[in-house]
A = this chain, B = another copy of it.
Amino acid sequence: MTTNTQVLIAALPEGKLEESHYRIEEGAMPELPENGVVVKTSAFAITAGTRAGLQGSASYAGAPSTGIVMNSTGVGEVVESGVADIPVGSMVVGPTGWQSYSAHEAKAVTAIHPSHNPLHYLGPLGVNGLTAYFGLLEVGQPKSGETVMVSAAAGSVGHMVGQIAKIKGSRVVGVCGSEEKCIALTHDLGFDEAVNYKDDGFRDSLKGATPDGVDVYFDNTGGMILGAALFRLNVGGRIACCGVVSQYDTDRPEPGPKGIPGLLVNKRINMRGFLVFDFAHQYDQARAEIHGWLESGEMQALTDEVSGLEAAPAAFVDLLSGGNIGTRVVRLD
């Protein structure tokens, strides 16, 4: 009899996340819901944003809890189906969590177009890619020739923000946490400049990399990098607030940057938080455009793969300390 290997939240972190906050169990196979499907996970993504769901409050993900399967978006094959339009054998994307099998209402999963690479639904055609797309284009609204700055630039969202900005005619400056990432951004992905925020001269380097200032800052981090960006932003600049990765892995968030709200006033900056789900009615159009860029080679989807459910906790801890380049994916097949 097949069992369902699951990674459960064993304890909620106080301070930094550790592998010991998770445990692996063999659970029962899920039952097919009425009007639903059972999915065998092929792969799932690990993203920094889910760290916020483990904290006490102030997350859109709801209250955290122990003894439940760790949440994530995954792709997999339908192995049982109670609905005609998602037959057994279909590939779908949905909230699989960190487990080998999951059951869903049909409306909770999305069928993957047969001509698409399912793994792209964890990257450029998934939540990460859509977040980059809408955050940059709808919230940041860069004009051709403007300078776009993005933090966590080598991350799952950031590396796509920079590429979309390049496609749209912007000058792109990425901020990341290692020389290796800087090289990946400028050599492999076409960023104009990349700056390592861990370097002593970070603020000077950022200034040098943005001689015409910054028009759009796509903020994945908050904290010190947001503070530095405020000083580089031009009059009329825009900040797309996407995430706060600098503050996720702690129970003591930093205060906000000193320049808020003073610099917002002086420079008439528009700072707007967004969640990708607010743009759900535009996903199809966005996916079609992104798919075109993937097909033409204008966009590259960087993935950083690990293998096996048991590797997920360490992969998450490492991601939170900045260990990944591109989208971190755990493969089960």
A→B interface (CB under 8 Å): 52, 58-60, 219, 222, 226, 239, 241-244, 247, 253-275, 278
- Asked whether A60 and B266 contact (CB < 8 A) given A256-B258, A256-B259, A257-B260, the answer is yes
A272, B259: Cα distance in complex, Å? 13
A117, B58: Cα distance in complex, Å? 50
Contact B222–A261 (Cβ < 8 Å) = yes
Contact A247–B265 (Cβ < 8 Å) = no
Contact A226–B274 (Cβ < 8 Å) = no
Contact B255–A255 (Cβ < 8 Å) = yes
- Asked whether A260 and B60 contact (CB < 8 A) given A272-B270, A272-B271, A273-B268, the answer is no
Contact B278–A274 (Cβ < 8 Å) = no
Partner of A268, one of B257, B269, B278: B278
Contact B260–A265 (Cβ < 8 Å) = no
Chain B residue with the shortest CB-CB distance to A260: B256
Contact B258–A264 (Cβ < 8 Å) = no
Chain B residue with the shortest CB-CB distance to A261: B241
Give chain B nearest CB distance to A139 CB in angstroms: 9
A12, B271: Cα distance in complex, Å? 32
Contact A241–B265 (Cβ < 8 Å) = yes
18 contacts between A and B (CB under 8 A): A58-B259, A59-B266, A60-B266, A219-B261, A241-B264, A244-B261, A254-B258, A256-B256, A256-B257, A256-B260, A257-B260, A261-B273, A264-B271, A265-B275, A268-B278, A270-B272, A270-B273, A272-B272
Contact B265–A261 (Cβ < 8 Å) = no
A272, B235: Cα distance in complex, Å? 12
Partner of A264, one of B59, B257, B268, B273: B273
Contact B265–A273 (Cβ < 8 Å) = yes
Contact B265–A242 (Cβ < 8 Å) = yes
| 20 additional A-B residue pairs with CB within 8 Å, beyond A260-B260, A264-B273, A270-B270 | A58-B259, A58-B263, A58-B266, A222-B260, A239-B261, A243-B265, A244-B265, A247-B262, A253-B258, A254-B258, A255-B255, A255-B257, A256-B258, A256-B261, A257-B260, A264-B271, A268-B272, A268-B278, A269-B273, A270-B272
Q: Within 8 Å CB of A59, what residues of B?
A: 266
Most buried by B among A247, A272, A275: A272
Chain B residue with the shortest CB-CB distance to A271: B271
Chain B residue with the shortest CB-CB distance to A243: B265
A31, B168: Cα distance in complex, Å? 55
Chain B residue with the shortest CB-CB distance to A59: B266
- Asked whether A261 and B271 contact (CB < 8 A) given A255-B255, A256-B255, A256-B256, the answer is yes
Contact A262–B58 (Cβ < 8 Å) = yes
Q: Within 8 Å CB of A58, what residues of B?
A: 259, 262-263, 266
A41, B58: Cα distance in complex, Å? 53
Q: Within 8 Å CB of A264, what residues of B?
A: 241, 271-273
Give chain B nearest CB distance to A157 CB in angstroms: 12
Chain B residue with the shortest CB-CB distance to A257: B256
Give chain B nearest CB distance to A227 CB in angstroms: 8
